[in-house]
A and B are shown apart, each in its own frame.
Chain A
Amino acid sequence: NAGVTQTPKFQVLKTGQSMTLQCAQDMNHEYMSWYRQDPGMGLRLIHYSVGAGITDQGEVPNGYNVSRSTTEDFPLRLLSAAPSQTSVYFCASSYAGPGQGSPLHFGNGTRLTVT
């Protein structure tokens, strides 16, 4: 049972480049989400999805796009990378979502540097 798998582990981009961070889970969880983690700040929600075909914005959505075509996959797209997007990105999933008290299961993160 792999849990939540994120790829790549590390990525370096130049300003203005675009890329997709991949996230897949094999636990049949309906809820999936993307967080970013920056030094001195708590994890902040970027986007989330409560099921296939349904996505919504978190607290820091600007510059990012998501889609959810299957239950298993929830990719995060950076449209035009900026140095402010240098961060560690975590994908997380749960059975019913934190609003129902369901704990999140996290991947091991993608460390992104934008130069």
Chain B
Amino acid sequence: EDQVTQSPEALRLQEGESSSLNCSYTVSGLRGLFWYRQDPGKGPEFLFTLYSAGEEKEKERLKATLTKKESFLHITAPKPEDSATYLCAVQATSFQKLVFGTGTRLLVSP
């Protein structure tokens, strides 16, 4: 069965304190791995798609990387506006659906 596990569940950082979020997955053939950001009371907002091991994508203070078993979302020198829940989802080759993790709640304090 396809599974996605995100860690930690919650993370509190000081402004400027870099860290990484983890997304471990088991799927029967990876078509793509997606990262989303979700603010309270809003729908998830697309950040990145990664397709193959070794791939990296960057956007402002965020950098996503992918291996054969996990993905990391690195946050460099975060700001309070980076506070949100970050969701990871994988697309297996076998079905038209994404399998989502439960997310990591990030709080960045000034």
Contacts and interface: CB of A to CB of B under 8 A. Distances in A.
Given A103-B49, A104-B98, A42 B34 contact: no
Interface residues of A, number: 27
Nearest to A43: B100
Interface residues of B, number: 26
Contacts of A104: 34, 44, 46, 98
Contact of B102 (A41, A99, A101, A106): A41
Interface stretch (B58-66, B72-80, B89-97): B89-97
A31 B42 CA distance: 21
B101 A106 contact: no
Given A42-B4, A98-B91, A106 B97 contact: no
A107 B43 contact: yes
A64 to B, nearest CB: 15
A99 B51 contact: no
Contacts of B93: 99
Interface of A: 4, 31, 33, 40-45, 48, 50, 56, 58-59, 90, 92, 97-99, 101, 103-109
6 contacts: A41-B102, A98-B98, A104-B44, A106-B44, A106-B45, A109-B43
Given A43-B87, A101-B49, A104-B46, 12 more contacts: A42-B87, A42-B100, A42-B103, A43-B44, A43-B98, A43-B100, A45-B98, A48-B97, A101-B32, A101-B91, A103-B49, A105-B46
